[in-house]
Amino acid sequence: MHLAEFLEELTELLEVEEAVTLDTSFEGMDEYDSLAVMSLIAFIDENFDKTISGEKLSNVKGVKELITLIGEDNIS
């Protein structure tokens, strides 16, 4: 998946008004809640064929860390 497409999908998934970027932090973001984590689990499984636990995703601090968790080779 291309980086621009990934960031666009994240913006929609998190239902935020401002576009998500590589520098976006999830800390303090009201939209990054348990529902968002569940949606991310499904999104990652569907698009990257990876299973990541809700606990791991809950501890992700930002987009860069999320990409590392998914695997940088999966996003270009």
Can you tell me the distance from the alpha carbon of 21 to that of 35, in angstroms, rounded to the nearest whole number?
A: 20
Q: Quote the pLDDT of residue 56.
A: 94
For 48, the domain range is 3-74
Domain count, the chain: 1
Can you tell me the distance from the alpha carbon of 50 to that of 68, in angstroms, rounded to the nearest whole number?
A: 13
pLDDT band at 25 (very low <50, low <70, confident <90, very high): very high
Average pLDDT on 23-43 reads: 94
Average pLDDT on 6-29 reads: 96
Tell me: the pLDDT tens digits for 50-61? 999 999 999 999
**Domain containing 43 — which CATH number?**
1.10.1200.10
pTM over 0.85: yes
Terminal CA-CA length for the chain: 6
